[in-house]
Amino acid sequence: MRLWLAALMLAVALPALAQVSMRVRVTGEVQRELTLGVEELRTIALRRAFVKERGYGGVRLVDLLQEADIRQDARHALRRTYVVATATDGFQAVFSWGELFNTPIGPGVIVAFERDGAPLRDGEGR
């Protein structure tokens, strides 16, 4: 049994963290690896759907995964696919493909790049 993995590297800024990343990387079992800054995320959000959730604005995680094109080399491959979102401080969130694409949870998972129309500040995941 082969495990399918699409990893999303999320940038998080913490006061004690010396190195802050301003980029999002989508790597793993995808056809196109992506490394995106805020402007690239904004372009994808405008092309696909800009999302606002509780004051935060950004792009849906599922839209980024569709941009990267998850590999489907085997029958039912997507059923075994999961996404690991890893922040620069080591925090991880794990989602199954089914959870993101087949439940009401999926559309609410966003990669935020602004809050109340302004860029994210340090400590907000800039």
pLDDT digits (tens, 9 = 90+) for 43-97: 999 999 999 988 899 999 999 999 999 888 777 778 888 899 988 788 899 999 9
pLDDT at 19: 54
Give, as one character, the DSSP assignment of residue 120: P
What's the predicted TM-score (pTM) here?
0.77
CB 23 within 8 A of CB 33: no
Give, as one character, the DSSP assignment of residue 121: P
- Using H for helix, E for strand and C for coil, what is the string for 57-101? EEEEHHHHHHHHCECCCCCCHHHHEEEEEEECCCCEEEEEHHHHH
pLDDT at 73: 77
Query: Which of 112, 115, 124, 111 is CA-nearest to residue 20?
Result: 124
Q: Is the pLDDT of residue 5 over 50?
A: no
- The strand order across the sheet containing 81-87 reads 34-36, 24-28, 4-10, 81-87, 92-96
The per-residue pLDDT for range 20-29, each reduced to its tens digit, is 578 899 998 8
Alpha carbon 7 to chain centroid, angstroms: 8
What span, in angstroms and rounded, lies between the C-alpha atoms of 12 and 22? 8
